[in-house]
Amino acid sequence: MKQLARLFCPVILVGAVPAFGQTGPLATETKQSYQRIKRFFIAAAEQMPDEHYGFKATDEVRSFGGHVAHIAAAQIRTCSNYNGAAKQARTGSLTAKADLVAALKASFAECDTAYNSLTDANGTEMVEGRRGARSRFGILNGNVAHGNEVYGSMAVYMRLKGLVPPSTASRAGGARKKAGPG
């Protein structure tokens, strides 16, 4: 019996090794949510005309460009920490569309590394950050939640400027370019 166990145990373990690093349903859902908000952010940033990057819905809130700068800085900070090399983005002084879109894309490149490394197997590992230890799932799902919150504000700004936000355009088949009445 022991000889059978010695014979089959390595075979069972070898068969299980490829499954260990696979993404799995939890990591897949997190990655899908990230890819969705990434598409919407980049499309919104590219769609808003340069002359409206300074637009504010009211004096008390960030401008459209301020929202782009904010999410770029937040993502660099969050995802670089997740990746093990904490970085800070200096986006606060940026105002030109081209500079802000470039900063946004750089933040998504940093986050791509983080999300691509996420698996169901490592998702519960704890990572130290500025707010204490959090799980890899918690960090990346929190990043998506923050992104959705900021994108929601940006979508309102787009509507106020007569533009259809990318999230709405994707549901409508992308045919509409301007927000209609009502």
| pLDDT tens, per residue, the chain with 182 residues | 555 444 444 433 333 434 445 679 999 999 999 999 999 999 999 999 999 999 999 999 999 999 999 999 999 999 999 999 989 888 889 999 999 999 999 999 999 999 999 999 999 999 998 789 999 999 999 999 999 999 999 999 999 999 999 999 877 665 444 554 43
- Where do the domains of the chain lie? 23-162
Instruction: Determine contact, residues 78/84, Cβ cutoff 8 Å.
Output: no
- Note the pLDDT of residue 172: 64
Distance CA 131, CA 113 (A): 21
H-helix segments, the chain: 2-20, 24-47, 64-82, 97-117, 136-160, 166-171
Q: pLDDT at position 29, please?
A: 97
For residue 5, what pLDDT is reported? 46
The CATH H-level (homologous superfamily) assignment of domain 23-162 is dinb family like domain (1.20.120.450)
Per-residue CA distances from 171 to 72, 78, 160, 180 (Å)? 26, 30, 19, 15
Q: What is the pLDDT of residue 120?
A: 97
Tokens of 180: 């209609």
